[in-house]
Chains A and B, each alone.
Chain A
Amino acid sequence: MELFTHRYRNVSVLVAAVLAQLLLLGYQIRSREDVPLVRVWVVTAVTEAASLVESAAAAAADVARNYLWLIGVREENERLRRQLDELKLESQHLRAELARADRAEALRLFQARTPSRTLAARIIGAGPVLNSKVVFVDVGSRHGVEAGMAVITPAGVVGRVRAAYPTSSQVVLLTDPSFAGGVISQRHHVQGTLKGKGVRLCTVDYIQNEEKLEEGEWFYTSGDDRVFPRGLPVGPAVVVRRGRLLKEVLVAPSGLENGLEEVLIVLEGVHQPVPAATAPAASTLRLLPPPPADPLGAEEQGGPTASLETDADRLRERYRRIGEAQGHTFGEGLPGSPPPDFTLEVAPAKPGSPGGAGSPPPAP
């Protein structure tokens, strides 16, 4: 027995360790409860460390930009080149600052305009799972954030809060495979369920083939999921095709298009109507100008063949010529009078001879 336990000690411990974790997993899955203490400790520690790293990186970049690059300049040429590089960097920096200020201003305006009560947050970390779409934001339960709250930007829906920790929160993006939410299309009011796929595009499931939906039609949150208030933009349908039973619809999330730096967390959502779809204005149809007149053609001046655009026009013109060649005027003969001989060939109208009506028909 002792030999057995000694010999299989490693395997026994391995099996015990795996079983213990399986039991832990089973408990969480079955009871739908988490192990919050572990997560709180780890997330707080790691996100604080990530914040420190970010601050240190910013400070180091600041020191390098403000001091290190300004010393040691000896030759004029190098000094000028360095100044040029510095100006370029500054320009890039200012552009980035300007873009950031624009985003912050847009966020602030949107926050003031939307009836929902929101809280601004900054992205400070990404999830550790390959293909998972999870980020961490720098506000948590101390700021009033709770699990299940919607996360948005002025451009559209971003995701929802999965867990709120004291100083940070974990947000599942709508492209994550575990994400699902109710959506409604703008024009035809088709309802479906938005689901993440782990890639850039999301699917909208449960739309019958018979329902009408067009590519480019926007989807908005329907409010049915009790997470997102109704009326938030989600994104346009980029692919709409018939499936076996249900339509296959792919949506490009508009909230993730320009990257994520700042987001809003909806603390208290207020439903809004889905904006009405606007029909394309007539002026948006760009028509080509009419073609220029053919200088060689005489019949464009009002000649009978000027508008012979269809087979019916050409047939009508041929009958008119045949009638003229035989002295027959259509519409004037009495019932029973002989019709013109339609088997006669007449010469087609020549340029410069209006109508070509006087040309005699060739002998049959």
Chain B
Amino acid sequence: MRVDSDLLANGLGRPRQEARYHQLKLVAVPVAALVFQVYVPLVIVYLGYLELPLLVVLYYALTRRRQLASLFYGAAVGLLQDALSHNPVGMFGIAKTLTGYFAAAASFRFDVDNPVVRFLLSFFFYFFHQFLYWVLTQALLAQPASFSLQQALMLGLLNGAVAVPLFHVLAKLLGRG
């Protein structure tokens, strides 16, 4: 645990508990999430609704609590995801850059170790990410993509529910310390 004296001096109220992770694991986990997203829906279709790369970025941003590190991590994971998609590279990159940045900013304000808060933040940022991606698709690619509010909310709830136990698993995998 590292207490940031600057932050305390700035009066944001909460001592910052930053997590530090092994570099190799930081690379392996999002790649594993991408492999999961590419391969597992072929076997179990409904698991395609899980946005695991986003949940990994969210976990990193909420626990690392560094906006710059989180935005770069989000950008990297997003660009990897873009490379696997059929859209131009950068769509997921932008969406996850912003999501990582704002999630890290939110981590200053909320008790992100609380499961309820984790659920709500995951739900919110999933919705934010999907909406942002849809806006980018409409604005930059002019593709006839549809945005179903009901579907986004339902999937937000699903991903939020999955995020709570997943964050525990990621804490063990990445080894906070």
* Chain A residues proximal to chain B, CB less than 8 Å: 9-10, 13-14, 17-18, 21-22, 24-26, 28-29, 34-35, 38-39, 41-43, 45-47, 49-50, 53-54, 123-132, 134, 136, 162-163, 170, 172, 176-178, 198
Query: Contact: B86 with A50, CB < 8 Å?
Result: no
Determine if A10 and B79 form an interchain contact, defined as CB atoms under 8 angstroms apart.
Answer: no
List 10 A-B pairs, minimum CB-CB distance, nearest first.
A42-B83, A25-B90, A28-B88, A125-B38, A50-B39, A21-B90, A10-B67, A49-B35, A39-B83, A21-B93
Alpha-carbon distance between A35 and B93 when the two chains are bound, in angstroms: 14
B68 interface residue per 8 A CB criterion = yes
Give the distance in Å from the alpha carbon of A129 to the alpha carbon of B49 in the complex: 9
| Cβ of A39 to closest chain B Cβ, rounded Å | 5
B75 contacts A46, C-beta separation under 8 Å? no
In this complex, what residue of A is CB-closest to B42? A126
Which residues of chain A have C-beta atoms less than 8 A from B93's C-beta?
21, 24
Q: Which residues of B from 69 to 128 have beta carbons under 8 Å from A?
A: 71-72, 75, 79-81, 83-94, 97-98, 101
The answer to whether B141 has its CB under 8 Å from any CB of chain A is: yes
Q: A10-B101, A128-B37, A177-B143 are in contact. List 17 more A-B contacts (CB 8 A).
A: A9-B68, A10-B67, A13-B71, A17-B71, A18-B94, A29-B140, A34-B89, A35-B89, A39-B89, A50-B35, A50-B39, A124-B42, A125-B39, A129-B86, A131-B145, A163-B86, A177-B145
Knowing A47-B38, A123-B42, A128-B38, the reply to whether A25 touches B85 (Cβ < 8 A) is no
Residues of B in contact (CB 8 Å), total: 43
Q: Is the CB of B38 within 8 A of A29?
A: no
Q: Which residues of B contact A178 (CB under 8 A)?
A: 86, 143
Is B94 a contact partner of A22 (Cβ separation < 8 A)?
A: yes
* Chain B residues within an 8 Å CB radius of A42: 80, 83-84
Q: Is B144 an interface residue (CB 8 A)?
A: yes
> Which B residues are in CB contact (< 8 Å) with A132?
85-86
Bound: A29/B141 CA distance, A? 8
**A130: which of B51, B86, B91 is its contact (CB, 8 Å)?**
B51
Q: Is the CB of B71 within 8 A of A14?
A: yes
| Residue ID in chain B nearest A199 by CB atoms | B146
Closest to B83 in A: A42
How far does the Cβ of A197 sit from chain B's closest Cβ, in whole Å?
Answer: 8
Residue B15 at the A interface, CB < 8 A?
Answer: no
With an 8 A cutoff between CB atoms, is B160 at the interface?
no
Instruction: Tell me, in angstroms, the Cα distance from A53 to B39 when the chains sit together.
Output: 8
**A128-B85 contact given A21-B93, A123-B42, A136-B38, CB 8 Å threshold:** yes
B31 close to A (CB within 8 Å):
yes
Residues A176 and B86 in contact in the complex (CB < 8 Å), given A17-B97, A42-B80, A123-B42: yes
Q: Given that A53-B35, A128-B37 are contacting pairs, would A25 and B91 also be in contact in the complex, using a CB cutoff of 8 Å?
A: yes
The reply to whether B85 and A129 contact each other, CB–CB distance below 8 Å, is yes
The reply to whether A28 and B90 form a contact with Cβ atoms under 8 Å apart is: yes
Contact of B48 among A10, A28, A126, A198 (CB under 8 A): A126
User: Complex formed: what's the CA distance from A177 to B134 in Å?
Assistant: 13
Question: Known contacts A14-B97, A25-B91, A123-B42: does B86 contact A172 (CB below 8 Å)?
Answer: yes
| B88 cross-chain contacts in A, Cβ below 8 A | 24-25, 28-29, 34
Bound Cα distance A301, B99 (Å)? 88
> How long is the Cα–Cα vector from A128 to B39 in the complex, in angstroms?
10
Closest to A170 in B: B86
Could you mark each residue 17-45 of chain B with 1 if its beta carbon is under 8 Å from any beta carbon of chain A, else 0?
00000000000000100110111011000
Docked Cα-Cα span, A279 to B80, in Å, equals 53
CA distance A178 to B68 in the complex (A): 34
> B61 to chain A: closest CB distance in Å?
13
**Complex contacts, B92 vs chain A, CB 8 Å:** 128
Q: Are B140 and A25 in contact (CB under 8 A)?
A: yes
- Whether the Cβ atoms of B89 and A43 lie closer than 8 Å is no
Interface residue from A28, A50, A128 paired with B53 (Cβ < 8 Å)? A128
Contact assessment for B35 and A14 in the assembled complex, using a CB-CB cutoff below 8 Å: no
| Min C-beta distance of A49 to chain B, whole Å | 5
CA separation between A235 and B8, bound complex, in Å? 66
Hey, which chain A residues are within 8 Å of B63, CB to CB? none
Distance to closest chain B CB from A332 (angstroms): 79
Closest to A126 in B: B41
Contact A45 B38 (CB under 8 A): no
Chain B residue nearest in CB terms to A54: B39
